[in-house]
Amino acid sequence: MRYLHIALIVIFTAAVLLFKFQNLEHVTVSLLGASATLPVSVLVLVVYVLGMLTGGFVLALLRTSMRGASGAGSRP
């Protein structure tokens, strides 16, 4: 099982590096008058991290609201 995990890590790392080296073109992104020029692979990484953060915040908000809703109904 250990070798399977190592193999999956190596395959995933190779795929990420391949993506990085095949997407070296630069793009310009603008938001509220500010703009930035960066490689496509960096942009994808930033969008992925922002998606993880917002998804985590939404899940935390849903958990908190569900706990609050279930706790409010049990009190007299």
Domains of the chain, by residue range, sit at 2-73
pLDDT of residue 72: 55
| C-beta separation of 45 from 37 below 8 A | no
Q: What global pTM score does this model have? A: 0.56
Compute and round to an integer the Cα radius of gyration of the chain.
21
| C-beta separation of 39 from 24 below 8 A | yes
pLDDT of residue 8: 93
pLDDT one-digit tens code per residue, 32-55? 998 989 888 888 888 888 888 998
**What is the pLDDT confidence band of residue 21, given thresholds at 50, 70 and 90?**
confident
pLDDT of residue 59: 85
